Amino acid sequence: MAKKDFYEILGISKSASAAEIKKAYRKMAIKYHPDKNPDDATAETKFKEAAEAYEILSDDNKKARYDQYGHQAFEGGHGGGGFGGGGMNMEDIFSQFGDIFGGGFGGGFGGGQQRQARVKGSNMRIRVKLTLEEIAKGVEKKVKVRRKIQADGVTYSTCSTCNGAGQVTRVTNTILGRMQTAATCPTCQGAGQSIKSKPSDADANGLIVKEETVAIQIPAGVTEGVQLKVAGKGNEAPGKNSISGDLLVLIEEIQHATLKREGTNIHYDLYINLSEAVLGISKEVETVTGKVKIKIDPGTQSGKILRLKGKGLPSIERYGNGDFLIHINVWTPQELNKEQKKFFEDMQNDANFKPSPNASDKSFFEKVKDMFM
């Protein structure tokens, strides 16, 4: 089932300011908060949808990618997962957005139980290079990454400062009354635990570095600079209740030897000789999806553009394929033998060899204009 539009979820327009986005999310989070709607699956779903929409639209870079590519910009790995991937987790939401009300979620609605914050490991970033052929079809790439994971044999004790909550609550008196705020515990940095014992090869946080092979599902039609996310394949964090960071994958496009990409369209320069231009010929051309046979009519002029509809690259938003555009270039010989030279000297004054463009023959600029109409 297609995912809902993030702007529609929050009830805002694409031109909404950062303040308006935050206000809309806060309104929905209050309305569908699980403390106000216990055992209501529909409310929980709406609560998660609002958090996912806010996570993308509150970040300028993510918002720009979403506006250009939609949900596809954040899909990667085996179906995504985590923020931006459709697998929203309630603990993720409270951990990342719990301070939007100042006092956090949890006890902010009277009688609600305070939720323990979860520490998230740091994200990792890699670059993946793709050929045009891989971009045309989509591809699975297996990459080796060195990520931090929790070492076996680490034992923890409850943090004495926050009693395992991962955050400390402060109550202050103001002219508006008593205000409650929550902040990350300075002792355990939000883990709610401190290391009691650890193996000798683990660092101070009980983590070791391990090399893993990660499979990345890359959708067809991606462009240079698009960043995909494989949820949970970044560095782990200390603590039993921690969650892993994400693996962020930046796409790089390998320049093709003969083809040039322009959005979803592909351009190819085909050179033919004078005889082929005069007599016409059939040619086999290699596209990004395989070989195709084209017919060049007798009397074809240099600069003619042949369009193979739908033989370009797919749109990342699945709006169809672009076109494969073949630019015909008639190659003029630079050296002639005596017989060849004599033939062309005789043809110089032949009426059939004199340029006589028709009114229907379009200029180069008109042809380029037609390509974008």
Give pLDDT tens digits for 61-74.
888 888 887 877 77
Residue 94 reports pLDDT greater than 60: no
- The pLDDT, as a whole number, for residue 173 is 75
Q: Percent of the chain, pLDDT > 90? A: 44
Q: What is the mean pLDDT of the chain?
A: 83
Residue 77 reports pLDDT greater than 50: no
- The pLDDT, as a whole number, for residue 106 is 42
Predicted confidence (pLDDT) per residue in 176-191, tens digit: 667 777 788 888 877 8
Residue 276 within any structural domain of the chain = yes
Please give the tally of structural domains in the chain: 1
Residue 307 within any structural domain of the chain = yes
- For the residues 189-201, what does the mean pLDDT come to? 86
Confidence bin at 10 (pLDDT 50/70/90): very high
Residue 79 reports pLDDT greater than 80: no
Residue 145 within any structural domain of the chain = no
**Looking at residue 265, which CATH number applies to its domain?**
2.60.260.20
Name the range with the highest mean pLDDT among 174-178, 194-198, 303-307. 303-307
Angle at 64 between CA 58 and CA 68, to 5 degrees: 135
Residue 297 within any structural domain of the chain = yes
Residue 231 within any structural domain of the chain = no
- The pLDDT, as a whole number, for residue 227 is 92
Alpha-carbon Rg for the chain, nearest whole angstrom, is: 31
Residue 290 within any structural domain of the chain = yes
Domain residues for the domain of 334 are 259-371
Residue 251 within any structural domain of the chain = no
- The pLDDT, as a whole number, for residue 330 is 95
Residue 41 within any structural domain of the chain = no
